[in-house]
Structure 1
Amino acid sequence: MRGDRNNVGPRLGLAYDAAGDGATVLRGGYGIYYDNIRMLQNQYEKLNMLRYDIRITNPSYPDPFQGRDPLQFASTAPPNIQLLANDFRNARSQQANVGLTRQLSSDLAVHADGVYSRIEGDRRTVNVNVPDAATGQRAYPQFGRIDVDQSISRSAYRALYVRLDKRYSRNYQYLVSYSLVQGRDNNPAGRFADQANRDLDWGPANFDRRHSFVASGAVQVPFDVQLGAVFTIRSSLPFSATAGRDLNGDTFVTDYVPGTSRNQGNRDLDLTLVNTWRASAGQLPIASIDSTRFSSVDIRASKPIRFAGERRAEVIVQLFNVFNTVNLSGLGTNAVAATFGVASRASAGRQAEVAVRLVW
């Protein structure tokens, strides 16, 4: 990037046979990594004066152009432009892990791993031409927004992974795993909900599912039939309670309900604050929100039909979400809407699939 020439990434990995018999292994590692930033990010700088990006805030209807035709309006309205910061640099990640593997028998082992990752200098978009809260005037009145991509975003990830792994022997195998995860960031690659209160964006990452459990297995039964199954359960995803209106005058309706911060929903969101805000908009209070917890059981059966030589056809039957569990997603985030905390989507219900695999 622009003058970013110190992207040195040392890495170290160690493994230790604790008892000298290969049954107990300790391992660890640490490394520094840099993101690969695409140069397309600064292509818009070449287009700033060749096109207009205009946002009409609270337009009048049916004439949002205020008596002018669209071309006249576009030629007089201050344009929005986008820039890449002169000190923009590649995002830097420090990653560390430590783990233990213990062999319990010739085909059974237990593993435990702790993982930590911290990313600094990821991309955030900052409007450096925000209207003054008192006067409404911009520092550069000839422009609307001046969005600058800056290397100021950060994130942290901590996880504990535990799994019990039984390798295939005696006609069966299985794997049981659990993960305890905490991912927190300030919404990388986006813009601040409130530039004057940037810490409000620090919270659970959008992908943060605190608990995940997966159990899978396969068994060879008579008549050359193989049966398999996977059971998956994951805790809910977070979401934000937004105010539903522009509270800070930045022309974006992304402000959080006063007193809350990003992605507190399905975590530690205070519904009293939400209901107080809803009451100010004439909405009834809510007592609960939908859960985005995920649960599914999938099963599989296969049987080969053998022909001459190495040729064979494998008949496969698979069932997904066997118990037809309703897994919700897409919760409403506008706190003054009737759909707040209500799911708008659900993953697929029970499905079946039949396939034939040919090998020759």
Structure 2
Amino acid sequence: MGCATRPRRGIDVMPQLQVLKNLPRISRSFPVRWPVSCNSCNSWPGFSVHANHNCRGGAGAAVLAAQFLFVMLLLPASSAAQAGVTVSGIVEDQSRAAIPGAQVSLVQGENARTTSTDEHGRFMFTGVGPGKYKLGAAAHSFQPQELEIGIGAQSLESLKLRLKISAQATQVTVSADSLDDSADAESNADSVKFDDDLFRQLPVPARDVLPLITKFVSPAALGTEGLSIVTDGIEGNQLDVPASAIRKVNINRNPYSAEFRRPGKGRVEVTTQRGRRKFHGSLAVFARNSVFDARNAATLGGPLGRKRSLFFLTGEHLRNNESEIVNAITPAGPFRAIVPSPQRRDRFLARIDLRQMGIHYVSASYGITDDDRRNRNVGDFNLPEQGIRERSRQHRLLLTERAILSANLINDLRFAFKSEDAISGNPAPGPTIVVADAFTGGPSPTFSHDGRKSFDALDSVSYVRGRQTFRFGVQSRVRLNHAIDASNFNGTFQFASLQNFAAATPFVYQANQGRPDARFSVYDASGFVQDDIRVSPQLSLACGLRYDWQSSIDKRKNLAPRFGFAFAPGKHKTVLRGGIGIFYEDLPTAATLRSLLIDGVRTREVVISNPSFPDPFQGGQVILTPPSVIRVAPDIRSPYIVQTSLGVERELSSRTWLSLEYSFLRGLHLFRSRNVNAPEPETGLRPAAGFLNINQVESGASLRSHALGVTFRGRAGKHLRGIAQYTLSRSFNDTSGAFSLPADNFNLRAEWGRADFNQTHRFNFAGTLELPRGLRLASVLSLASGAPFNITTGFDDNHDTVANDRPPGVTRNTELRPGTVDLDVRLTKTFKLAPPFLGGQPPAKRESHNLEFSVDAFNAINHTNFAHIVGTQSSPFFGRATSAFAARTIQFSLNYIF
């Protein structure tokens, strides 16, 4: 066994299994029992192609028993008695950025212990006895600081030492209460925080962390373009860095900050890894059901030449050979097939950090992503011939510079460049056939090539004076777009039912003609001011104002005030927290693109009602029908939501918080589409005779959402840590997105109903439990009520060429799908190894390396979670589930951390 000191935290990395041949011998052997096939159905236990695999025979029963044991182990366990407690925390500067390499001391009388903060600014002392101590921190170019603390029977964690820039070499001594930041705007207990250790320990399929992150965001707070992901200060809607490059993730931190466009519950802040002063890294290999499914990753970091320069490298390779299940009905009868849908993805990220003269910090990172997927769009009702290939490549460059201008003034400058290129599909050799909720056959109509380049520049200033922190900044973005969209150039026939298909009577034929090429630019600009005031040790206020501008929208009155407060009376164990703010969003780039392409000139959409089949032009003669166009409303304006909340938080112990919060969201001027040239119900005539359909993107929809949330975050005993979140909510709106058309263009009141994302109950838990003998158990549990779905007739009853009509008296989203239950578990065994290649280094200074072997079970209880319920009355599947989410999947992983 290696030494028993605390192992250094590392990051996942993964070449081939052969590298393990060169590792030091493990002093303790461990048996591995491979699974055997199930005698009842001749399949691997827990591996099922069909979602309804419920075999309980042979090995399947053993797997269920093991899963039951896993769940039982997650229950809180009593901690074994230990000598002393743990004192840990973080050292930050005035802008709340971590200070790596700071010297931290813990002094009691003549006895002193010292340590250094890691790359995250964290420190830890273990085995600390009871009594009074002085906790001090010092770093180059900063004023040293001391904190008086008292140690009892409970560990002290999350202590924060905030150092000021060293304008004068003076010693600052404070009490523990004065550093208690429970009343700060950024210390809300309902925030969700993941660090790289927790990501590494939780069960995550092939290290794809985004599904785990999205479990803890509020769907009502998401914008038109989805989740807002802020990576190293640059806002976007993609997580475009490898999972092994993520240092920490914050969700709902400071929900009313004017620095960001979206509210906290619809925003994820991602910080990437950086190098350390010692070489470190990791190797990891993941394997799932098939030997052809694998994910390899590697990381390496350390000093670069001079001590003031650090580097970090990471790369990932994904080989995923999953399959899609087709479950359709054709004129020949039921059609079921399993279609391979392989994916290959490579990601790489390199980062360099430079520190100059102690007052300038410069970093540069470059990332590249290659993604190749085949047989996309296959599955459910889509037959195998609908499969297409999707390829994309992305380059990302980020430059940042932090200047500590004085003891009170810090300037942060960021510049980002991103280039994206994506190709989907190929020219279709024939028309596509769509029979409503029965089958979709023929070649896929998709054929597009998108090229996008974006440039971001941000500059923000932080000024600290006494109890007040003042921040302001500006941001500009330029997006250059070049799109070629030749989709549906061979047309699509739509049939209301199988009977109509057998009778060769489609209700509509649609095809695009012309030159499908468009180039355009979008310019964004924003500015903010934020003033955080500590009125007293018990009360803090956060006041902010933000302005957003976009070139695609003429309206300019987009001022968004924000306000938050926190009141922590007495010993700061209970906090009353609330706030209100306005949050604007931009017009989606896709809306501008569609209005430029389908404009009746560059590209015209031919729509023929009740066409002949298979030749819609009656003998080969092209009939010039009135064109259909897509346009953006002339009076379009930026949508916004007003969010307000009030909650109470209670510190149950030094490591555990419980919060209860009520929040209300009101969305105004939300995007939706409407056919402003639909036939008049009385006459059947269209207002503009020169056009067929005019689908106009408007800002006339609204949203109301109420939510009551309970969040538990922290530790239970020494070994169990995690976060649990329950939300009771009710969300209603009258839009399903910017391009969603109403069932009746003359009766928009019928669109008011349950939002597509409305789920009355949602519960999510993520946590880990340390067990004896180097074992660790982790789980992610998600429970949710069913989401709503529509009931439609399947016919174009109002002759607007769209078959989304509902039965009389039925409004939008009246029915509910069944709820979902999803439990993922991971069991990990950690082996401590003596590090190789140490030369003559004395054993006392050797730090142990870790080898982790993990077994994951996703959907461990093999619960069938339906993905789609057919609501089309003309479909033979009406009222039935035709697809489900993945059945139980097993994943093995090996991770070497040094």
Q: Is the pair's TM-score, using the shorter chain for normalization, greater than 0.5?
A: yes
Structure 1 pair 40–204 and aligned structure 2 pair: CA distance change class (3 A): closer
Deviations 1:249-270 (A, max 9, x none): 211110112111000102xxxx
Deviations 1:100-124 (A, max 9, x none): 1112233333211111111111212
Aligned mates of 1:128, 1:218 — CA distance in 2: 55
Q: CA deviation at 1:179?
A: 0.9
The alignment partner of 2:609 has SS state of: coil
The answer as to whether partners of 1:243 and 1:258 remain within 8 angstroms in 2 is no
Aligned to 1:145: 693
2:889 to 326, 332, 351: 351
1:124 to 669, 672, 679: 672
The answer as to whether partners of 1:89 and 1:121 remain within 8 angstroms in 2 is yes
1:304 is the counterpart of 2:827: no
The amino acid of 1:129's aligned partner reads N
2:780 to 204, 218, 230: 230
Aligned to 2:771: 221
Q: Determine which structure has more spread, i.e. the larger CA radius of gyration.
A: 2
The alignment partner of 2:578 has SS state of: strand
1:336 to 859, 874, 882: 874
Structure 1, 26-35 or 306-315: larger mean CA deviation: 306-315
1:6 to 539, 548, 557: 557
> Which ranges in structure 2 are unaligned for 5 or more consecutive residues?
1-551, 836-846
The alignment partner of 1:60 has SS state of: coil
Aligned to 2:799: 249
Aligned mates of 1:130, 1:314 — CA distance in 2: 63
Fraction of identical pairs, as percent: 30
Aligned 1:93-132 pairs, distance under 5 A: 93-132=641-680
1:172 is the counterpart of 2:720: yes
Deviations 1:137-195 (A, max 9, x none): 22222211112211111112211111233426422234433110111111231111101
The amino acid of 2:560's aligned partner reads G
1:52 is the counterpart of 2:600: no
The answer as to whether partners of 2:676 and 2:745 remain within 8 angstroms in 1 is no
The answer as to whether partners of 1:133 and 1:249 remain within 8 angstroms in 2 is no
1:292 to 800, 814, 818: 818
The answer as to whether partners of 1:112 and 1:162 remain within 8 angstroms in 2 is yes
Aligned mates of 2:606, 2:648 — CA distance in 1: 56
1:82 to 594, 611, 630: 630
Aligned mates of 1:65, 1:88 — CA distance in 2: 37
Aligned mates of 1:172, 1:128 — CA distance in 2: 58
Q: Structure 1 or 2: larger strand share?
A: 2
Structure 1 pair 254–305 and aligned structure 2 pair: CA distance change class (3 A): same
The alignment partner of 1:261 has SS state of: coil
1:264 to 811, 814, 817: 814
Number of paired residues? 331
1:91 is the counterpart of 2:639: yes
Aligned mates of 1:2, 1:23 — CA distance in 2: 47
TM-score when normalising by structure 1: 0.86
1:65 is the counterpart of 2:617: yes
Aligned to 1:160: 708
The amino acid of 1:322's aligned partner reads A
Q: CA deviation at 1:340?
A: 1.6
RMSD: 1.9
Structure 1 pair 114–354 and aligned structure 2 pair: CA distance change class (3 A): same
The alignment partner of 1:120 has SS state of: strand
Q: CA deviation at 1:92?
A: 1.2
Aligned to 1:15: 566
The answer as to whether partners of 1:310 and 1:359 remain within 8 angstroms in 2 is no
Q: CA deviation at 1:43?
A: 3.7
Aligned to 1:133: 681
2:758 to 197, 208, 218: 208
Aligned mates of 2:614, 2:857 — CA distance in 1: 53
Aligned mates of 1:326, 1:156 — CA distance in 2: 31
